A = this chain, B = another copy of it.
Amino acid sequence: MKSRFLLVFAIAVAAGAQSANDPLPSWNNAGPKQSLMRFVSDVTTQGGAHFVPVPERIAVFDNDGTLWTEQPMYNQLAFVLARVEQMAPQHPEWKTTQPFKGVLEHDAKAAAASGEAGMVRLLAATHSGMTTDEFRKTVSDWIATARHPRFHRPYTECVYQPMLEVLTYLRANGFKTFIVSGGGVEFMRPWTEKTYGIPPEQVVGSSGKTQFKLLPSGPVLVKLPQVEFVDDGAGKPSGINRFIGRHPIAAFGNSDGDLQMLEWTAANPKAEFVALVHHTDATREYAYDRQSSFGKLDKALDEARAKRWTVIDMKSDWKTIFPNSR
């Protein structure tokens, strides 16, 4: 009995040790995991042909659909809709004005009929006319209390556990990790440090203009209803150039909005690892690509396959999707 117990114990310890040594325990031991670990080994091997000095180890990550779920709608859009409901008492005119009326009556079709102009008005109403400090508090309050409609957990727990492991793994190997997202930079910064370990100064995103005002109570930055920069599609390499000023050696995306960022990274002559998250798991998350207006993959998936970039198949490559509830 005793020796049998010891044997079981020894096996359990060995399994534990193996998992302790595995930087990517939520990944099945298939192609993407192996490619990533080979890449990291290559660029960190001093004297090797592909060695990259620490300061140049820049890795960029799309956010929506790459680090956290983007279905059934962009989480920032859920924030917009919640804000319209919260702010409605101060805006009686919204009861009769689209797209606000549609939002308040949960009539998505009516709201959507306002098209892009309507979306711009929703964004302006919820993302401008306040100070940057006020906006930060609004986002922090929402992210602390809102729940994902299907998974019934905070949005910051609808992040992908395997990708959290990639972030930690790369940083442990001297990489600086950046978000490069089409989402609003001020919508992301209040929670990225705690959620991803990515500090505000390493978040690149879309932004509106701000205006400095010196009030009697002190200076403030007021958010204006004017778009400053759209960090999406062909804007992503420009955003990388402008905010980071270095050519990344690793990039992770999931949609056509990431295509140019992936192309730009793939062209780094020093070294490159380029990966596309393919949403294939309707049971544990969502399965979508060409059919969806979110995370469209009309071109990116074909190009990834043609150029032999790493395509991550959520269903088969990831043992778990979300982290344990915190």
Contacts and interface: CB of A to CB of B under 8 A. Distances in A.
Interface of A: 55, 58, 132, 176, 185-186, 189, 193, 199-203, 207, 209-212, 214, 218-219, 221, 228-229, 234-235, 237-238, 241-246, 260, 263-264, 267
B185 A242 contact: yes
Query: In the complex, which of the residues A193, A219, A235 has the most CB atoms of chain B within 10 Å of its own CB atom?
Result: A219
Closest 5 CB pairs of A and B: A200-B245, A212-B234, A218-B267, A212-B237, A210-B238
A211 B210 CA distance: 24
A272 to B, nearest CB: 12
B242 A210 contact: yes
A199 B55 contact: yes
Contacts of A241: 132, 210, 221
B189 A219 contact: no
Given A55-B193, A264-B219, A203 B238 contact: no
A300 to B, nearest CB: 13
Nearest to A188: B245
A285 to B, nearest CB: 29
